[in-house]
Structure 1
Amino acid sequence: MRAPDFWGRRGGIAPLLLSPVAAIYAAATARRMARPGWQAPVPVICCGGATAGGAGKTTLAMDIGSRIQARGTPAHFLLRGYGGSVKGPVQVEPGRHGSEAVGDEALLLAALAPTWVSADRAAGAQLAVAEGAGAIVMDDGLQNPTLAKTLSLLTIDGGYGFGNGHVIPAGPLRESVAAAAARCDAAVLIGPDETGALELLPPTLPVLRGDLVSGPEMAGLAGENVFAFCGIASPRKFFNTLRQGGAVVAGTESFADHYPFDAGDLKALLDQAERLGAIPVTTRKDWVRIPPEFQGRVRVVSVTLRWDDPSQIEALLDRALQQGSLGTA
C-alpha cells in the first residue's frame, strides 16, 4: 500500500479526525511493550524505527551485520519478513524462498549471513542461537516485545523524519517519538535532517549520522540514459541517487512499497525504457521481486551506508558485544 499523502505533511483535518483512533493504537502499543521479552544468551542489536515504512533499517542492519562478522563473531539476521506469506520461524534459503514467501528484505540479508524470518522474534532468535549465532541483528522490531535487546537504534530518514508527527492511522508513527526514543541507546540519522526531526528527540540521546551512497554499479551508468523504476518507501531518494551518480534519468515510474511485480508490469516497463532509448534500472530490493525471467534485463544499483564518524557505531558495538558476552558467563 502507499502511505496517505497527509502522513507526510503537517496540518490538515484528517489527523485531527483520526486522533481518537490513534490514541487507542498508541495505548495498545504501550501495553504490549510493557511485557518482558526473552533474554537471548547472545547480543541482540535492533535496527528499529518509530515510523511505518522505510527509513533505512535494512541498510543499517546490513552494515552492522558486516561489522560484527568482520570481528569474527557469527552474526545472524532476524526479521518479520514483511510482504511474505511465511510466518516462521524459518531460515531463509534464497534458492528456495522467493520474495512472495519471505519478503524482499530477507533475501537481501540472506545474501550476507544466515537470516531468519519469524513473526515471533523470540522463537526465531532461539533457532538462530541453536544454529550458532554469536550475535543477532534485527531488521525492525523496536515495537516487538518478545525479544529483549542489548542495543536499540532509532533509524530516521532525514528527508522524511517523523512525517506529520501523529500515530497510525493519523500519521506514520507506530508510537510517539518520545516512547520510541526512551527505549533506544542512540538514533541514526540517514541524510540531512530536512524536517527538524532531531528537535523531537531527548537531548541526552546520542545521534549518529550517515548517508546512503550508491554501490559500484553506478560507475557503469554515469553519462547513460536510464529509465528508473522502484517500489520503495522513498522513490525520490533512489532517483536522486542516480542523478547524483551521473546518470541521465530519462524517465521514472514508482510503485507502492514492496510492490509485487508481475510479468505484465515488467513488459510494460521494458517497453517504456525502449521507447526512451534508456537502460532500465531499479534497486536491489526491487530486483529480488522481479520475475526471474526478467531479472537479467534490468540493471541494479545498490546502496550502502557511509558514516560521518564510523568510530561511533564501532564503540556502540564494542559495548553491546561485551554486554552480550557477559550475559552468557
Structure 2
Amino acid sequence: MRSSPPNNPPKSADSRRDGASGASERLGSGVQFLTVPEELAGQRIDNFLQARLKGVPRSRIYRILRKGEVRVNKGRVKAEYRLKGGDQVRVPPIRVSEESTPPVAGESLRRTLEAAILYDEGGLLVVNKPAGLAVHGGSGVRLGLIEALRQMYPNSPFMELVHRLDRDTSGAILVARKRAVLLHVQSELRAGKLGKSYLALAAGKWPRGQKVVEAPLRKNTLKSGERIVTVEGDGKPSTTRFRVEERFKGATLLAAEPVTGRTHQIRVHAQFVGCPLAGDPKYATDEINGAFRGYGLKRLFLHSAGVRCTLPDGVRVDVKAPLPAELESVLSALRGE
C-alpha cells in the first residue's frame, strides 16, 4: 500500500523542524542548541547537520566539525560520530547567503518521482530512480533524490538513503523512513543478505564461463577532482556475479549481482574482463561509446533491476524496476527490430 505525497504540502511544524527540537529552516545569528530525538539515534552528526543547515555546503559542515565549533554534550566530535537520543548539539551561528538558498523540487521532478515510487510500506520506500539524478546534493549538485523526497514528505521526520546508486545509473534504490528500518536493512547489506540485481549492456563478447569476477578495487582521486576506481592488488576485496541474458553482434546483455558493494564495482569489473559497459564515460573508450550512440544509446547502460530485503518485523520485500524505455529501444535496435 502506497501513501502518495502531497503535490503542494502546506508548511507545517514538522516541515519546519525536520524532527529535531529547536531546529529551524534558517539559522539565526546566535548559537543554537538542538536536542536529538530518539528516532534519530544512530545518525551520523554530519548527516544530522546537513538535514538542518539548509543551504550550507557540506564542505562547510565538515569545516565547522573539524574546528570544534560543533559540540555534542559540550565535547568535540568527528564527522562520523553517531548521535544518541537526548544528545545536546551545539550549532554555531552560520550565515546563509541568498544564493545558497536550497532549491525546491519542481513540479516536473515531483511528478516523475511520485510515478517512480515502487513500494511504500513499513517505513521503507523503493524508488525507481531516473538516470541523471544524483542520490544527494553536493559536489556541484544542489538537489538530489533524498532532498527532493524530504520535500515531498514534509511530515516524515526521518528520510535517509539505505544505499547509493551512481548518478548515471537508473533503477531501484532503497530509502528508509524509519531509523529502525535503516539500521535493520543496512545490517542485512553488511551481512550480504540484501539482494541487488542489475541489467548491464557490455561491449564485445562476454567470455563464456565467466560467471564471477573477483578483483580488488581501489578508489583514486585525480588532480582534477574526478573519482576513478582501478583494479589494484592492495585494493578492497570485491566480487560480482554475472549471467549472460542475451548476446548481440558486438555486445552482451548481462545480469549482474554485486556480492560486495564497492564504488563503480560492476563497471570496473566489466572493464577488467575486457567488456566495458556501453555508454560508460569513465571506463569505456570514446570509440566504443560512439558505436553505441549509433543504436540510440545516450547514457550509461546500467540499471538497478531489483532489490530484495526484509523489514524488522520479518516481512520480505522483493521489488522489480522495469527497464527504462530508452534502454529497451537500444536493445530493439541491436536486435534489428
What is the TM-score of this pair, normalised by structure 2?
Answer: 0.27
Greater percentage in helix: 1
Greater percentage in strand: 2
Q: Whose radius of gyration is greater, 1 or 2?
A: 2
